[in-house]
Amino acid sequence: MTNAVNASGATPGSLSSRVGAAGPVAEVEDLTVDFRLRGGVLGRGDTLRAVRAVSLEIGERETLGLVGESGSGKSTTGRAMLRLVEPTAGSVRLDGEEVTALGRGDLRLARRRMQMVFQDPYSSLDPAMVVGESIGEPLDVHESLSRAERSARVGDLLEHVGLSATYAQRYPYEFSGGQRQRLAIARAIALHPRLLVCDEAVSALDVSTQNQILNLLEDLQAEFGLSYLFIAHDLAVVRHIAHRVAVMYLGEIVETAPTDRLFDRPAHPYTEALLSAVPVPNPRRQRERERIVLRGEVPDAANPPAGCAFHTRCPHVMDVCRVEAPPVVAAPGGGTVRCHLHT
Amino acid sequence: MTATAIDRREALAPPEPGARARFVRRFRRQRLALAALVYLVLVVLATVLAPLLATHDPLAQNLGSVLQQPGGGHVLGTDDLGRDVFSRALYAGRVSLVAAAQAVGVAVVLGVIPGLVAGYAGRKVDAVIMRLTDALMSFPPLILAIAFVGVLGPSLTNAMFVIGVIFAPRFVRLVRGTVLSIREETFVEASRSIGTPTPRVIVRHVLPNALSPLIVQVSLTAAMAMLAEASLSFLGLGVQPPDASWGSMIERGFRYTATAPWLTVFPGLLIALTVLAFNVLGDGLRDSLGREIRRGS
Amino acid sequence: MLRYTVRRVLMMVPLLVLVSLGVFALVLMIPGDPAITIAGENATEAQIDATRERLGLNDPVLVQYAAWAGHALTGDLGSSLFSNESVTGAIAGRFPVTLALTLAAMLIALLIAVPAGVVAALRRGRWQDRGATLFASVGISLPNFWVGILLIMAFALAFPIFPAVGYTPISEGVGAWARGLVLPGITLGTAVAAEITRQLRGSLTDTLQQDFIRTARANGLSARAVVLRHGLKNAAVPVVTVIGFQVGFLLGGSVIVERVFGLPGLGDLAIRAVLQRDIPMIQGIVVVAALIVMLVNLAVDLSYGWLNPKVRQA
Amino acid sequence: MTEPLLVVEGLEVEFATDRGWVQVLDGVSFTVGRGETVGLVGESGSGKTVTSLAVLGLLPAESSRITAGSIRLDGRELVGLPRRRMEALRGDELSMIFQEPMTSLDPAFRVGDQIAEVVRRHRGGSKRAAWARAVEVLSTVGIPHAERRARSYPHEFSGGMRQRVMIAMALSCEPKLVIADEPTTALDVTIQAQVLDLLRAMRDEFGTAVVFVTHDLGVVADICDRAVVMYAGQVVERAGVDALYEHPRHPYTEALLSAMPQLTARSGRLATIPGSTPPAGAMPPGCRFHPRCGHGVDACRDTAVAEHPLAEGGTSRCLRVSDLALKGSA
d(C-alpha C167, C-alpha C261), whole Å:
8
Give the closest residue to A298 by CA, choosing from A251, A233, A235: A251
- List CB contacts (< 8 A) between C212 and chain D: 103-107
ipTM for this model: 0.82
Model confidence band, residue C313 (pLDDT cutoffs 50, 70, 90): low
Chain B residue whose CA is closest to D292: B2
Walk across the sheet containing D177-181 and list its strands. D94-97, D177-181, D209-214, D37-41, D226-231, D234-240, D315-316, D308-309
Mean pLDDT (chain D, rounded): 91
Report yes or no: B106 and B168 within 8 Å, Cβ to Cβ.
yes
Q: Given this model, what pLDDT does residue C302 score?
A: 87
DSSP state, D90? B
Give the closest residue to A172 by CA, choosing from D23, D193, B16: B16
Q: Cα–Cα distances in Å, from D95 out to D29, D166, D210, D316?
A: 20, 10, 10, 29
Shortest Cα distance, chain D CAs vs residue C197, angstroms: 22
Chain D residue whose CA is closest to B22: D18
Parallel/antiparallel/unpaired status of strands A336-337 and A329-330 = antiparallel
- List CB contacts (< 8 A) between C215 and chain D: 98, 104-106, 166, 169
Q: Answer yes or no: is pLDDT of A272 > 70.
A: yes
Q: Answer yes or no: is pLDDT of A238 > 90.
A: yes
Q: Residue B74 forms beta bridges with which residues?
A: B71
Q: Answer yes or no: is pLDDT of A8 > 50.
A: no
Mean pLDDT lowest among A146-155, A208-217, B124-133, C302-311? C302-311
The amino acid that residue B138 corresponds to is S
D191 and A297 within 8 Å at the Cβ level: the answer is yes
Report yes or no: A271 and A254 within 8 Å, Cβ to Cβ.
yes
Determine the 3-state secondary structure of D104 from DSSP. coil
Model confidence band, residue B24 (pLDDT cutoffs 50, 70, 90): low
Q: Given this model, what pLDDT does residue D262 score?
A: 81
Q: Pick B7 or D317 by higher pLDDT.
A: D317
d(C-alpha A85, C-alpha A104), whole Å:
13
Chain B residue whose CA is closest to D296: B1
B1 and D276 within 8 Å at the Cβ level: the answer is no
d(C-alpha A214, C-alpha A204), whole Å:
13
Parallel/antiparallel/unpaired status of strands D64-73 and D6-17 = antiparallel
Q: Under CATH, what is the fold of the domain A26-113+193-342?
A: Rossmann fold (3.40.50)
Residues on D contacting B at a C-beta cutoff of 8 Å: 18-19, 251, 254-255, 258-259, 269, 271-276, 279, 282, 293-295
- List CB contacts (< 8 A) between D257 and chain A: 281
Mean pLDDT lowest among A291-295, B253-257, C193-197, C233-237? B253-257
Model confidence band, residue A41 (pLDDT cutoffs 50, 70, 90): very low
d(C-alpha A49, C-alpha A39), whole Å:
16
Contact residues for C27 (Cβ-Cβ < 8 A; gap 6+):
B151, C34, C64, C279, C283
Model confidence band, residue D244 (pLDDT cutoffs 50, 70, 90): very high
Residues 10-39 of B with CB under 8 A from D: 10, 13, 16-18, 21-22, 24-25
Contact residues for C138 (Cβ-Cβ < 8 A; gap 6+):
B272, B276, C194
Partner-chain residue, chosen from B10, B186, B191, that has the shortest CB–CB distance to A120:
B186
Mean pLDDT lowest among B254-258, D5-9, D179-183? B254-258
Shortest Cα distance, chain A CAs vs residue B31, angstroms: 24
Q: Answer yes or no: is pLDDT of D43 > 50.
A: yes
Q: Cα–Cα distances in Å, from A158 out to A136, A168, A184, C4, C41?
A: 10, 8, 10, 53, 77
Parallel/antiparallel/unpaired status of strands D64-73 and D37-41 = unpaired
Q: Under CATH, what is the fold of the domain D6-101+176-231?
A: Rossmann fold (3.40.50)
d(C-alpha C79, C-alpha C84), whole Å:
5
Q: Given this model, what pLDDT does residue B27 score?
A: 54
Count of CB atoms situated within 10 Å of the CB of B153? 14
d(C-alpha B260, C-alpha C149), whole Å:
12
Q: Report pLDDT digits (tens) over A60-80.
A: 999 999 999 988 999 999 999
Q: Given this model, what pLDDT does residue B4 score?
A: 30
Give the closest residue to D202 by CA, choosing from D170, D160, D227: D170
Q: Report pLDDT digits (tens) over B194-248.
A: 889 888 998 888 888 888 888 888 998 999 999 999 998 888 888 888 888 898 8
Q: Answer yes or no: is pLDDT of B5 > 50.
A: no
DSSP state, A312? T
Burial A155-165 (b: 16+ CB within 10 A, else e): bebbbbbbbee
d(C-alpha A312, C-alpha C25), whole Å:
62
**Rg of chain D's alpha carbons, rounded to an integer?**
21
Give me the helix-helix angle, D189-206 and A269-277, nearest 10°.
Answer: 50
Residues, chain B, total?
A: 297
Report yes or no: A265 and A245 within 8 Å, Cβ to Cβ.
no
The amino acid that residue C22 corresponds to is G
Count B/C contacts: CB-CB distance under 8 Å: 147
The amino acid that residue D170 corresponds to is A
Q: Answer yes or no: is pLDDT of C241 > 50.
A: yes
d(C-alpha B37, C-alpha B103), whole Å:
20
Q: Given this model, what pLDDT does residue C301 score?
A: 86
Shortest Cα distance, chain C CAs vs residue D173, angstroms: 10
Contact residues for B265 (Cβ-Cβ < 8 A; gap 6+):
C150
Pick from A8-22, A313-327, C36-50 the range whose average pLDDT is largest: A313-327
Mean pLDDT (chain C, rounded): 86
Q: Report pLDDT digits (tens) over B62-116.
A: 777 777 777 777 777 777 777 888 888 888 899 899 999 999 999 999 999 999 8
Shortest Cα distance, chain B CAs vs residue A110, angstroms: 8
Q: Given this model, what pLDDT does residue C73 score?
A: 82
Mean pLDDT for D271-280 is 83
Determine the 3-state secondary structure of D143 from DSSP. coil
B196 and A141 within 8 Å at the Cβ level: the answer is yes
Walk across the sheet containing A252-258 and list its strands. A114-117, A195-199, A227-232, A63-67, A244-249, A252-258, A336-337, A329-330
- List CB contacts (< 8 A) between B25 and chain C: none
Determine the 3-state secondary structure of D26 from DSSP. strand
Model confidence band, residue D117 (pLDDT cutoffs 50, 70, 90): very high
Q: Which helix (H) or strand (E) holds A47?
A: strand A47-58
Determine the 3-state secondary structure of D195 from DSSP. helix
What global pTM score does this model have?
0.84
Q: Which helix (H) or strand (E) holds D209?
A: strand D209-214
Q: Cα–Cα distances in Å, from D248 out to D110, D217, D255, D322?
A: 46, 13, 10, 12
- List CB contacts (< 8 A) between A236 and chain D: 260-263
Q: Answer yes or no: is pLDDT of A94 > 90.
A: yes
Model confidence band, residue B14 (pLDDT cutoffs 50, 70, 90): very low
Model confidence band, residue B3 (pLDDT cutoffs 50, 70, 90): very low
Q: Cα–Cα distances in Å, from C205 out to C87, C120, C135, C216?
A: 47, 9, 17, 16
Shortest Cα distance, chain D CAs vs residue C248, angstroms: 28
Q: Given this model, what pLDDT does residue B15 score?
A: 44
- List CB contacts (< 8 A) between D259 and chain B: 2
Q: With respect to CATH, is domain C87-313 assigned 3.30.465.10?
A: no
Mean pLDDT for D270-298 is 87
Contact residues for B195 (Cβ-Cβ < 8 A; gap 6+):
A107, A108, A109, A110, A111, A112, A138, A141, A142
Chain C residue whose CA is closest to B272: C142
Measure the CA angle with vertex C237, ends C236 and C238; round to 5°.
Answer: 100
Determine the 3-state secondary structure of A71 from DSSP. coil
Domain definitions of chain C by residue range: 2-73, 87-313
d(C-alpha D179, C-alpha D165), whole Å:
15
Mean pLDDT for A110-120 is 91
Q: Answer yes or no: is pLDDT of B6 > 50.
A: no
Partner-chain residue, chosen from D43, D194, D218, that has the shortest CB–CB distance to A281:
D218
Determine the 3-state secondary structure of C195 from DSSP. helix
d(C-alpha D300, C-alpha D290), whole Å:
6
Q: Given this model, what pLDDT does residue A310 score?
A: 95
Q: What percent of chain C has pLDDT over 70?
A: 96
Q: Pick A300 or A314 by higher pLDDT.
A: A314
Mean pLDDT (chain B, rounded): 80
Which residue intervals of C79-231 are DSSP H helices? Answer: 87-122, 127-141, 144-152, 174-208, 211-218, 223-225
Mean pLDDT for A130-142 is 92
Cα A295 off chain centre by: 27
Mean pLDDT for D40-51 is 91
Q: Given this model, what pLDDT does residue C41 score?
A: 67
Parallel/antiparallel/unpaired status of strands D226-231 and D37-41 = parallel
Q: Report pLDDT digits (tens) over B32-61.
A: 888 898 999 999 998 888 888 877 777 777
Q: Cα–Cα distances in Å, from C132 out to C128, C146, D148?
A: 6, 21, 44
Report yes or no: D225 and D30 within 8 Å, Cβ to Cβ.
no
Chain C residue whose CA is closest to D55: C218
Shortest Cα distance, chain C CAs vs residue D293, angstroms: 36
Partner-chain residue, chosen from A12, A277, A281, that has the shortest CB–CB distance to D245:
A281
Q: Pick C125 or C149 by higher pLDDT.
A: C149
Q: Given this model, what pLDDT does residue A6 score?
A: 37
Domain definitions of chain A by residue range: 26-113+193-342, 126-192
d(C-alpha D318, C-alpha C113), whole Å:
58
Q: Answer yes or no: is pLDDT of A185 > 90.
A: yes
d(C-alpha D249, C-alpha D244), whole Å:
7
- List CB contacts (< 8 A) between D161 and chain A: 297
Q: What percent of chain A has pLDDT over 70?
A: 91
Model confidence band, residue B13 (pLDDT cutoffs 50, 70, 90): very low
Q: Given this model, what pLDDT does residue B106 score?
A: 95
Determine the 3-state secondary structure of D13 from DSSP. strand
Q: Given this model, what pLDDT does residue C172 score?
A: 84
Q: Answer yes or no: is pLDDT of A323 > 60.
A: yes
